[in-house]
Amino acid sequence: MNRGAMKEENVIALDEICTHHQVELSFIHSLHETGLIEVLTIKEAYFINHDQLPILEKYIDFHYSLEINLEGIETISHLLKRINTLQKEANILKNRLQFYEPHQ
């Protein structure tokens, strides 16, 4: 949870996220504890990397708008990652097959 070497312009304070989205800090810490997001501690304050914001907002939406519990969010995250991996593998195989197809 601690990475003081991270550039501070690439991070967003969790307090700001919680205020903006009206969510509990404990929810974000729970996401961190399950490994869904990485929380950084800089000078006794909590932050996330800017590139994690879209996924955090997705998890916030799942939990607060769709009322999906943490276990459900973990399952959805796992399935989405698996789908993404399978899509990449399918694209690789498709590209390989195109190499062997006769050109018209």
Q: What domains sit in the chain, N to C, each tagged with a CATH number?
A: 8-100 (1.10.1660.10)
Residue-wise pLDDT for 1-60, tens only, equals: 444 444 567 999 999 999 999 999 999 999 999 999 999 999 999 999 999 999 999 999
Per-residue pLDDT, 6: 46
Q: Between 68 and 6, whose confidence is greater? A: 68
Per-residue pLDDT, 2: 44
Per-residue pLDDT, 5: 44
Helices (H), the chain: 14-21, 25-33, 53-60, 70-100
- Measured CA to CA, the distance from residue 34 to residue 67 in angstroms comes to 18
What is the amino acid identity at position 92? I
Per-residue pLDDT, 102: 78
Per-residue pLDDT, 73: 98
pTM of the model as a whole: 0.79
Per-residue pLDDT, 8: 61
Model confidence at 99: pLDDT above 90: no
Is residue 72 within 8 A of residue 64, CB to CB? The reply is: no
